[in-house]
Chain A
Amino acid sequence: MTDPAFLVVAAVTIIGAIMAIEARDLVYGAAALGISFLGIAGLFILLDATYVAAFQISVYIGAVVVLILFTVMLVGPAKGEAPMEHKRASLFAAVLVSMFLGIGGSLASANAFPGVEVCGSGCDLQILSQTLLNNYGTQLELLSFVLVAAVIGALTLAKTEKA
């Protein structure tokens, strides 16, 4: 019943996410975050959203993770996180709550949602491009303006100030 490909990809995603948060070294954390993003892309492929998966890989793993790695190297090795009180307890609580909500909710509602069927025209690449350019053309242009604004903002922030 359960697709083995789904199990593998979901496990990669979740373990990557936990490693990204808990790895001692920030560089390993960034690498684990990239693996988690790769798992998300695999989940998108399982949902027949192949273009979104390709976009996810190129934007997240190609740009965001590399940017994060640059920042980690610029900022240098972490000075060691100060030990939190109740750290183990809060990790346990986080795992418990998310497992309860995720797996419990999934089991409880397994019959409420249909399975992933063959998508057909609803996931067609041609229809995606038509919708994106015909119906959402204005928003796409607006998005590029927002991108320019973000780039200018980041440059202004990172510029050296002669104080």
Chain B
Amino acid sequence: MEPLSSFFAVSIILLGIGIYGMTTKRSAIRILFSVELVYNAANLNIIAFSRLRNPPIITGQVIVLFSISLAAMEAAVGLAIIILAFRINADIDLRKLTKLKG
């Protein structure tokens, strides 16, 4: 029997990797990767927590289904923004996107 804490451990490690990527990378696509990783860490955490109740409850899986759909939308809009930024600036280095600076 695998203890549930192992699944929480994987979730936390994924969260750590995602935050590391978000804070150190400059490419917008890489930051989007990191956001997706954090999303997945949260989904895994919810599924594991829904097994904690005795008897297990199905609502956790329903929530994760909604969350996955929302993550897909977020990726679509994010990639559209990245393409727009590339068209305006010919670069997706986020530290060079300073058009909005007054």
* Contacting residues of chain A (22-52) with chain B, CB-CB under 8 angstroms: 26, 29-30, 33, 36-37, 40, 43-44, 46-49, 51-52
Give the contacting residue for A150; candidates B16, B36, B43, B77; CB below 8 A. B77
Q: Which of the residues B1, B3, B24, B64 comes within 8 Å of A84, measured between beta carbons?
A: B24
List B residues 24-38 near A (Cβ within 8 Å): 24-27, 29-30, 32-34, 36-37
Describe A's contact surface by its main secondary structure: helix
A153:B29 contact, CB within 8 angstroms? no
Interface residues of B in 52-72 (CB under 8 A from A): 52-59, 61-62, 64-66, 68-72
CB contact between A132 and one of B18, B55, B57, B62 (< 8 Å): that residue: B62
A47 to B68, CA, bound (A): 17
Interface residues on B, range: 35 or more
- Extra contacts, 20 of them, besides A113-B3, A113-B5 (Cβ < 8 A), are A33-B36, A43-B47, A47-B48, A52-B68, A67-B79, A70-B79, A74-B83, A98-B17, A101-B16, A105-B5, A112-B5, A116-B2, A122-B51, A128-B62, A136-B62, A139-B66, A151-B76, A153-B80, A157-B84, A158-B84
Identify 15 residue pairs between A and B in the complex whose beta-carbon atoms are under 8 Å apart, listed by A's number. Answer: A3-B1, A26-B27, A47-B7, A51-B65, A60-B40, A70-B79, A75-B86, A78-B27, A110-B3, A115-B1, A123-B58, A127-B58, A128-B61, A128-B62, A132-B62
Which residues of A are at the interface with B, using a C-beta cutoff of 8 A? 1-3, 6, 10, 13-14, 17-18, 20-21, 26, 29-30, 33, 36-37, 40, 43-44, 46-49, 51-52, 55-56, 59-60, 63-64, 67-68, 70-72, 74-75, 78-79, 81-82, 84, 87, 90-91, 94-95, 97-99, 101-103, 105-106, 109-110, 112-117, 119-124, 127-128, 131-132, 135-136, 139, 143, 146-147, 150-151, 153-155, 157-158
